[in-house]
Chains A and B, each alone.
Chain A
């Protein structure tokens, strides 16, 4: 049996029965990473030694009957935009190449310190989570484990690829406009973007604060429900987190969709969607019908408006959020300066990559006087429209079924020269971020 093929709930069962130790699990993953990393490039920072030491520690604490978290000794991989105390958090940017966080983010703290999980390392991403292919990383290009000529999607491409290649049993990603679901889709794993406010953003390096959410990337739906239960919850340090009672989401997993009302918005099955993608969804729809779900066509004519509004809002918020990178207190500082102003301008110009600069400039443009009303204000109104249209549909249906990505995994370099084309690949995912809704991507997993 290859340990690294197991899901987390299977691993936990073996741990609970003492059939396996945390050290054995951790070593199996490290071996797997050794084998695959040169092909996949999923990790920005590896923590082999720390991981083995912590696993040994947990094994001996377990023997001594010390009270530990329910998932103690289970390894995890973390997207490199979540702050981890004493360990580099780079956002895959030259700007933060040497940044060592002085604190753990809330979600990181919950999993590593309260739950006693083992951090296998920090995972690659598009710089500051801006991108859909992980080609915008300053350090390396992550590759899709199913075909290393192709991209894993993005921005959480390192997380999705690592899970798909069995280099980690599960991982954290973050999703601003599809950055969990699209790479999960392209890598054939399960990705979930939680409802906005369900998970604390404290310690998540901000891209677009009104859209960002942390969520699980896992091998199956049960693991996704488990990880969501562990990370959800109100946090004093994030005022946008919502105060709702703690839930065990695994209790909602039942093998029955009889009577479930599924709406299929016809606008998400138009010309722009690849036939291969549509065929898979039509098959899924048939399967749902067979199992007793009620599937109906519906209308949700917002995809294009939502995508345009998304890029306006996300870039506007990014231009403000990334204003903090000035080369003074942390992050890259240029060597080329005389005045303070030189430090700001040259550090930012040298420290940020092309896509990040493009979005900062776009965001500054739509917020500048003369364009604010035409773009930013309109986008905020579109946001209301998108929310309303979703609300109408969700009165009638329990869930809405759409594609996640209009295309299957594309080749490295295929879209990186044309930013707009890359943006358009987010057409199916951004609308729920704009509306603040949750969204799951479930793969038809080949095992």
Chain B
């Protein structure tokens, strides 16, 4: 499968990553290389085999839905790039 430039830019947009014009060729080359290799999975003898999602046999693991308060709010907010009055600050989203 050949990866086109438009497709790469669409995927990058989905991932919220900007690829600059001078990076495009390199990304295309690497991605194509890796995908060609990854295509090996389509030659694997897997007919009739189910999919393995995790590696142990846990299915749904339930716990009680209890609120546990994390009291040290200061330490949570200290990592915020921008904050105001104990809240994370972002640019205005509604006009």
Q: Using CB atoms and an 8 Å cutoff, list the residues of chain A in contact with chain B.
A: 85-86, 98-100, 102-103, 196-197, 210, 236, 239-240, 242, 304-305, 307-309, 311-312, 319, 323, 326-333, 337-340, 342-346, 348-349, 352, 357-358, 360-362, 364-366, 368, 374-375, 377-385, 387-388, 419-420, 423-424, 434-436
Contact = CB atoms under 8 A, between A and B. Distances in A.
Contacts of B67: none
A361 B53 CA distance: 21
A380 B18 CA distance: 29
Contacts of A86: 75
A327 B41 CA distance: 36
B12 A361 contact: yes
Contacts of B39: 308
A100 B75 contact: yes
Given A327-B81, A340-B93, A196 B41 contact: no
Given A327-B81, A330-B80, A349-B18, A308 B41 contact: yes
Contact of B50 (A85, A240, A328, A384): A384
A382 B46 CA distance: 6
The 10 lowest CB-CB distance pairs between A and B, nearest first, are A436-B55, A333-B81, A330-B79, A380-B51, A102-B75, A383-B52, A239-B61, A381-B46, A308-B40, A349-B18
Contacts of A307: 40
23 contacts: A85-B75, A102-B75, A102-B76, A197-B58, A239-B61, A308-B41, A309-B44, A311-B38, A328-B90, A337-B91, A340-B91, A346-B18, A358-B30, A364-B11, A364-B14, A365-B31, A375-B38, A381-B44, A381-B51, A382-B44, A383-B51, A420-B30, A435-B55
B45 A385 contact: yes
**Chain B at the A interface: SS class:** loop
A348 B16 contact: yes
Interface residues of B, number: 50
A349 B11 CA distance: 14
B85 interface: no
A240 B58 contact: yes
Interface of B: 1, 3, 8, 11-12, 14-18, 27, 30-31, 33-35, 37-46, 49-56, 58, 61, 63, 70, 72, 75-76, 78-82, 88, 90-91, 93
Contacts of B90: 328, 340, 343
B56 A381 contact: no
Contact of A360 (B15, B42, B79): B15
A360 B19 CA distance: 12
A54 B58 CA distance: 40
B61 to A, nearest CB: 4
A173 B3 CA distance: 36
A422 B43 CA distance: 22
A308 B37 contact: yes
B56 A240 contact: yes
Nearest to B52: A383
